[in-house]
Amino acid sequence: MNVVDDVPYGRSEGTRDELPCVLPQYTYPAPYQPTIHFSSSSRCCSGQNTYVFSNFHAAPYYSDEGVYYWCSEQEYQEGKARYHEQYKSTQSDPNGPTYSQVRQVIMNETAATRLASAGRSLSMNDACKQAWAENKAHLLLQVTRHKYYKCRLERQYLLGTGNREIVEATKDRICGTGYADKNAADMEGYRHAESHRDKWGSNLVGCSLMQVRHELRQKMALNPNHFDEINEDFRSYNGLLKHPQHAFVEGTFDVAGSVDCQQQQER
């Protein structure tokens, strides 16, 4: 079957101290298989260069408020820190940094993995947990829009996936599927995740990508040059995609025996 008729991750399950998330209204069409698995810890999953889809990927832009972020993970973690600050949440370590200090660290950090660690250094009180549950998925969707609305090369990659299903291969069952792509080189992790599809988590990052992909096409259908004025190409940061061998090539995500990506988006 090429089209995923019943997406199993159309809900969000709370884990540990997190409440179930309130989901945005996703309007993207039913995606095609085979699924594209991507990971923040691997340059190549599902046999393709998919690191570009990770929030850790360096794709600098300015938010609508004029704040500079060097990757979407930075905006996401800074937004999370704002909830701690707004709801006077607690520190996981009483002798550790305050939420204001953590937010400052996030805005000055240049390593994506440490951004996530900084966001985890604070624990949430009940009011903050509730607010975060109501807004986490919406914030993920917002930072994904900023990245692909404003970054031209990243946008080419996302549009080049046709209507294929996109999932984040991570142990995080809310942002991803709960199944990390442990060995992308021989596809072991990919096959393991696919064989446990009925146990997948919410895949909020993947859902945000598919939603934004749909929105990009809708806007470009009305005006092919819609994004020309808001492109922000800080190429000095983005060596991975600047190098010719990594520039997007039409058909990159086509799979033999399946409808090619260009035809998928035309259907």
pLDDT for 140 equals: 96
Answer yes or no: pTM beyond 0.95. no
Per-residue model confidence (pLDDT) at position 109 = 92
Q: What does the alpha-carbon distance between residue 160 and residue 265 come to, in Å, rounded to a whole number?
A: 9
Per-residue pLDDT tens digits of the chain, which is 267 residues long: 344 444 444 444 444 456 788 889 999 999 998 899 888 876 655 556 788 999 999 999 999 889 999 999 999 999 988 888 787 666 555 666 677 788 889 999 999 889 988 888 777 778 888 888 999 999 999 999 999 999 998 999 999 999 999 999 888 889 999 887 554 434 666 777 888 888 899 999 999 999 999 999 999 999 999 998 777 666 545 555 545 456 778 888 888 778 888 888 766
Residue 23 lies in a domain: no
Residue 63: inside a domain: yes
pLDDT for 43 = 60
On whether residue 26 sits in a domain, the answer given is no
* Residue 21 lies inside a defined structural domain of this protein: no
- Say what the pLDDT of residue 137 is: 95
Q: What is the pLDDT of residue 50?
A: 86
pLDDT at 234: 60
- Domain span at residue 82 reads 32-266
Determine the pLDDT at residue 20: 81
Quick check: is 18 in a domain?
no
The total number of structural domains in the chain stands at 1
CATH code of the domain containing 156: 1.10.357.40
Looking at residue 136, what is its pLDDT? 93
In a domain, 152, yes or no: yes
| DSSP, residue by residue, the chain | --B-SS-TT-S----TTPPPPPPP---PPPPEEEEEEE-TT-SEETTEE-GGGSTTS---EE-TTS-EESSHHHHHHHHHHHHHHHTTPPBSSTTS--HHHHHHHHHH---HHHHHHHHTTB---HHHHHHHHHHHHHHHHHHHHHHHHH-HHHHHHHHTTTTEEEEE-SS-TTTS-S---TTGGGTHHHHHHHTTGGG----HHHHHHHHHHHHHHHHHHH-TTTTGGG----TTT-HHHHSGGGS--TTTT--TTS--HHHHHH-
Q: What is the pLDDT of residue 93?
A: 57
Task: Examine residue 125 and state whether it is found in any structural domain, yes or no.
Answer: yes
Q: Is residue 27 part of a domain?
A: no
pLDDT tens digit sequence for 2-50: 444 444 444 444 444 567 888 899 999 999 988 998 888 766 555 567 8
